[in-house]
Amino acid sequence: MDPEPASPTAAVLVVGTELTSGLHSDTNGPEVARTLEDAGYDVRSVTALPDDADAITSFLTRALPRHRLIVVTGGLGPTHDDVTREAAARALGRTLTCDEGLLQSLGPAVARHGSAEAGARVLRQAEIIDGARILTPTLGTAPGQVLEHEHGTLALLPGPPHEMRPMLRMLLGDRSIHASPRILRTIGHPESDIQLLVEGALAGSSGIAFTILASAGLVDVILRDGGAGETALDTAAHAAAAELGDACYSTDGSTLAETIVRAAARRGLRLGTAESCTGGMVASALTDVSGSSAAFAGGVVAYADAVKSAILGVSSATLEAHGAVSAETAIAMAEGARTCLGADIAVATTGIAGPTGGSPAKPVGTVWFAIATPAETHAECRMLPGDRDGVRTRATVAALGLLLRALRTPAGSGDDA
Amino acid sequence: MDPEPASPTAAVLVVGTELTSGLHSDTNGPEVARTLEDAGYDVRSVTALPDDADAITSFLTRALPRHRLIVVTGGLGPTHDDVTREAAARALGRTLTCDEGLLQSLGPAVARHGSAEAGARVLRQAEIIDGARILTPTLGTAPGQVLEHEHGTLALLPGPPHEMRPMLRMLLGDRSIHASPRILRTIGHPESDIQLLVEGALAGSSGIAFTILASAGLVDVILRDGGAGETALDTAAHAAAAELGDACYSTDGSTLAETIVRAAARRGLRLGTAESCTGGMVASALTDVSGSSAAFAGGVVAYADAVKSAILGVSSATLEAHGAVSAETAIAMAEGARTCLGADIAVATTGIAGPTGGSPAKPVGTVWFAIATPAETHAECRMLPGDRDGVRTRATVAALGLLLRALRTPAGSGDDA
């Protein structure tokens, strides 16, 4: 799991009080980290600090001798709380001086500001740490700075992602060392079982690291190059995918919904949904895929029983005899959806998401699913853990899983053998 | 914005190689940080570290004497890379022992696993650091641990947000130093206008800080206690709400969907949706609210034109003459949804979410909305910015905004004067 010791280490620092106070989610940290990992660095930490020069100086003083590369984003702008330049200069023991070239290039930005005070602040961005290589902004006004020091490299990049991104590319240039990771996505098995299967497949191979990511019924396996190279990484990915078998639905980074939409489009099949407890989440997931109109006809969110009857044609007798949360209702919903939506394959969900509505016979988390294809209709029940959101999310994944299974079954369509 | 200097400091550590490698965005860090800030702590750093026991031990050894409270999330599960327990025990210089009560409670989880080896791993979650107070999981299997030490408190919480959240509440309990913040939620006005209105309302009051959070058409105002106390915070919230007027739809933390569902339930009105480009997201948002069955009849995701005609009764003539993305189609969809769903008020969306499907006359981001009530049907068009996800999210918010407006209009129902 741990990268090979040979990878140069890196640390990422994102600066901004809005990040440590949790008011904004940081997107730069993960993006910079992923870019550095893909380039072959072993990212040892991603840290958010407030706009506090002492905290930044203290962090950098400790981090500088430990990492080949440190990337800092944010705090390079013109306002009083942009303190990254000063803090980094202190940590390096260097001085800040005003760069004449930058000063001139900032002229137009100064002129745009309403007041002399605001204009003067813009000029702070011309302050450069001794020995810095300047990364010229293609967008915005804040230049980046790259500092070589005795232990490695320190890069200061602006916080706005669209300004940061091109500079990060300039910084890394051809410093990439490693192949991009391979991602195997699975459904239907617990995290620990997937781990054992992957461990088995990778036994004996070296220079390959892997990570398991689990969420709401889905488990992703990330295989990384730890020095083995592209070919060995491909071999390992094939071996792991073979070991995972049917559990693995994607080896190219596609999401579950993307895999379903593409499989249906390829086979010329139209999908439909009939949702009660998931309330539109299955349809949302499918229509989130660009180009889903090629495969998705539509859906019915049949929350009220009257809608289950009026649109999907679930009979009152079925609802009265078995209840809305039952195999019979789920089957009638899925078959009704096929008919009224003109779909080849339709999936239905009806369950108790909670927190209210449960009973001893049908507790919160009870969800019935049905899938109707030209060949057959099939129902199954799951007891899903979690709060309302958790039950709905897991039920959505389970419904997508049924669509996937139907699309893998040649008999599911009648037109594909 | 900055907390009072007297505030006790806190640090947040999120553990997971998927976070330092940038494969997953961390949501726990910002959420824990905000919760701690709201409770009166001054959060000095939010750090992500890989699943590396040495790195975690090193971080904690340095952080323990510096912060009154350290909250760690992640790395408490059953797999080999869940190393937070061991790392924290080492940093504290304490031993790990197996808790008999936890061991027994994990029995059912062990039994669910396919192999004995995977089952045995689950039992690692029964390992407890000497002196820990156990936070019992209400969901999932990983218990939290709270450790009092000479400098303060160290809390280890599980990584899955729905498991972490209730434990964080248990942890903070009555440790809050400040009054909880007041949240005013607004729709329909830009961030900068909202800021000016709130600044005006708060002019002259001291000890109150505020923050503006904007996302996809919604702007929240967070008023925080900076020492003024409960009563002054209430007075400020009332003044700000009055200044915001109709823009403010919630002063009690309710989301837009919650506000709509409650308003409809209170008035005995049934809501329906007819969605094309939002593909079920409006229905999802409404059914995300617990108790939504009291107010939400159902929805139709009419992605294919055939579904718009067959279920919603949009005539082929309308579709041919005006296209699917038009006022006429939106109106027919909303009126059709009222009829077929048996709803009092129905909202419709039809637009071009992109990235393909745009034209010079109807570029990506063009969305038509219609709202049908017993009194009238009304259509409007918006040009929404962003990528596919951004357009769909903003269109969902705009559709909810139309429902809110209809519910505020007495004439909208005919039964409420």
User: Is the domain of A24 the same as that of A163?
Assistant: yes
Nearest CA in chain A to B13: A47
- Whether the CA torsion A184, A190, A191, A195 is positive or negative: it is negative
B25, B290, B293 member nearest A303 (Cβ): B293
- The answer, for A88 touching chain B at a CB cutoff of 8 Å, is no
Answer yes or no: is A368 within a domain.
yes
**What CA–CA distance (Å, rounded) separates A26 from A19?**
6
**What CA–CA distance (Å, rounded) separates B392 from B373?**
24
The one-character DSSP state at A51 is S
Sequence-ordered alpha helix ranges (H) in B127-190 = 161-172
Distance from first CA to last CA of chain B, Å, rounded?
43
B window 7-36, beta carbon within 8 A of A:
17-27, 29-36
Answer yes or no: is B353 within a domain.
yes
- B412 confidence band (pLDDT: 50, 70, 90): very low
**What CA–CA distance (Å, rounded) separates B271 from B299?**
9
**What CA–CA distance (Å, rounded) separates B413 from B338?**
13
Contact A22, B71 (CB under 8 A): no
**Contacting residues of A for B287, CB less than 8 Å apart:** 277-280, 301, 303, 392
- Give the per-residue pLDDT at B27: 86
Chain B interface, best mutation among A287, A288, A367, A389, by max B CB count within 10 A:
A287
- The answer, for B343 touching chain A at a CB cutoff of 8 Å, is no
Give the three-state DSSP class for A129.
strand
Q: The complex's ipTM?
A: 0.77
CA distances from residue B240 to A373, B212, B251, B253, B404 in whole angstroms, order as listed = 56, 13, 10, 15, 21
pLDDT in tens, B258-300: 999 999 999 999 999 999 999 999 999 999 999 999 999 999 9
Across the interface, whether the CB atoms of A21 and B37 are under 8 A apart is answered yes
User: Is the domain of B402 the same as that of B279?
Assistant: yes
**Contacting residues of A for B29, CB less than 8 Å apart:** 22, 26, 48
Across the interface, whether the CB atoms of A340 and B310 are under 8 A apart is answered yes
- Give the per-residue pLDDT at B192: 81
Mean pLDDT, rounded, for B331-337: 98
User: Is the domain of A160 the same as that of A194?
Assistant: no
User: Is the domain of A274 the same as that of A337?
Assistant: yes
- Give the per-residue pLDDT at A5: 46
Contact A167, A135 (CB under 8 A): yes
A window 216-275, beta carbon within 8 A of B:
222, 224, 270, 273, 275
Would you list the DSSP string of A291-317?
Answer: TGGGTEEEEEE--SHHHHHHTT---HH
- Give the residue ranges of chain A where pLDDT is below 70: 1-6, 112-115, 117-118, 139-140, 174-178, 410-417
Q: 3-state secondary structure string, B193-210?
A: HHHHHHHHHHCCCCCEEE
- Give the per-residue pLDDT at A207: 85
B17, B36, B291 member nearest A1 (Cβ): B17
Query: Which CATH number does the domain housing residue A212 bear?
Result: 3.30.70.2860
**What CA–CA distance (Å, rounded) separates A407 from A413?**
8
User: Is the domain of B17 the same as that of B166?
Assistant: yes
**Contacting residues of B for A287, CB less than 8 Å apart:** 277-280, 301, 303, 392
User: Is the domain of A234 the same as that of A279?
Assistant: no
Phi-psi region of B105 (alpha: psi -120 to 50; beta: other; left: phi over 0): alpha
> Among residues B144, B172, B200, which one ends one of the domains?
B172
User: Is the domain of B222 the same as that of B93?
Assistant: no
pLDDT at B3 over 70: no
Answer yes or no: is A3 within a domain.
no
Answer yes or no: is A2 within a domain.
no
Scanning the structure block, which residue is given the tokens 């195999």? A327
- Classify residue B27 by burial, with Cβ atoms within 10 Å: 0-12, 13-18, 19+: middle
B window 357-396, beta carbon within 8 A of A:
388-389, 392
Nearest CA in chain A to B280: A280
Across the interface, whether the CB atoms of A298 and B301 are under 8 A apart is answered yes
- Give the per-residue pLDDT at B298: 98
Contact A395, A389 (CB under 8 A): no
CA distances from residue B37 to A1, A327, B34 in whole angstroms, order as listed = 34, 48, 5
Answer yes or no: is A260 within a domain.
no
Nearest to A283 by CA among B340, B287, B24, B27: B287
> Among residues A172, A190, A208, which one ends one of the domains?
A172
Shortest Cα distance, chain A CAs vs residue B185, angstroms: 15
User: Is the domain of B56 the same as that of B136?
Assistant: yes
Answer yes or no: is A257 within a domain.
no
User: Is the domain of A128 the same as that of A246?
Assistant: no
Mean pLDDT, rounded, for B192-197: 88
Range of B158's domain?
A: 9-172
pLDDT in tens, A191-202: 889 999 999 999
**Mean pLDDT over each residue of chain B, to the nearest integer:** 89
Across the interface, whether the CB atoms of B282 and A280 are under 8 A apart is answered yes
**What CA–CA distance (Å, rounded) separates B297 from B340?**
10
User: Is the domain of A167 the same as that of A195?
Assistant: no
- Give the per-residue pLDDT at A115: 67
pLDDT in tens, A296-331: 999 999 999 999 999 999 999 999 999 999 999 999
**Contacting residues of A for B27, CB less than 8 Å apart:** 25
- The answer, for B70 touching chain A at a CB cutoff of 8 Å, is no
**Contacting residues of A for B81, CB less than 8 Å apart:** 1, 211-212
Residue A83's CB: how many other CB atoms inside 10 A? 20
- The answer, for B140 touching chain A at a CB cutoff of 8 Å, is yes
Query: Which CATH number does the domain housing residue B314 bear?
Result: 3.90.950.20
**What CA–CA distance (Å, rounded) separates A298 from B276?**
8
CA distances from residue A65 to A61, A148, A175, B47, B94 in whole angstroms, order as listed = 8, 12, 20, 19, 30
**b/e per residue, B216-227, with b = 16+ CB within 10 A?**
bbbbbbbbbbbe
A193, A340, A389 member nearest B118 (Cβ): A193
A window 292-321, beta carbon within 8 A of B:
292-293, 296-304, 306-307, 310-311
Q: Return phi, psi of residue B312, to 5°.
A: -90, -10
pLDDT in tens, B201-258: 999 888 888 877 778 889 999 888 777 888 999 999 999 999 999 999 999 989 999 9
Pairing of strands A9-15, A42-49: parallel
- Give the per-residue pLDDT at B136: 86
**Contacting residues of A for B18, CB less than 8 Å apart:** 211, 213, 222
Answer yes or no: is B313 within a domain.
yes
Nearest to A242 by CA among A203, A186, A201: A201
**Contacting residues of B for A161, CB less than 8 Å apart:** none
**What CA–CA distance (Å, rounded) separates A13 from A89?**
15
Give the three-state DSSP class for B101.
helix
Nearest CA in chain A to B272: A301
CA distances from residue A252 to A96, A237, B314, B350, B399 in whole angstroms, order as listed = 47, 11, 40, 32, 35
**b/e per residue, A334-352, with b = 16+ CB within 10 A?**
bbbbbebbbbbbbbbbbbb
B36, B213, B270 member nearest A23 (Cβ): B213
pLDDT in tens, B353-408: 999 999 999 999 999 999 999 999 999 999 998 889 989 999 999 999 999 999 99
- Whether the CA torsion A138, A139, A141, A142 is positive or negative: it is negative
- The answer, for A198 touching chain B at a CB cutoff of 8 Å, is no
Answer yes or no: is A1 within a domain.
no
Across the interface, whether the CB atoms of B290 and A388 are under 8 A apart is answered yes
pLDDT in tens, B5-60: 467 899 999 999 888 987 777 889 999 998 998 888 889 999 999 999 999 999 99
**What CA–CA distance (Å, rounded) separates B335 from B280?**
18
Angle at A301 between CA A299 and CA A307, to 5 degrees: 115
User: Is the domain of B234 the same as that of B335?
Assistant: no
Domains in chain B, number: 3
User: Is the domain of B157 the same as that of B230?
Assistant: no
Query: Which CATH number does the domain housing residue A142 bear?
Result: 3.40.980.10
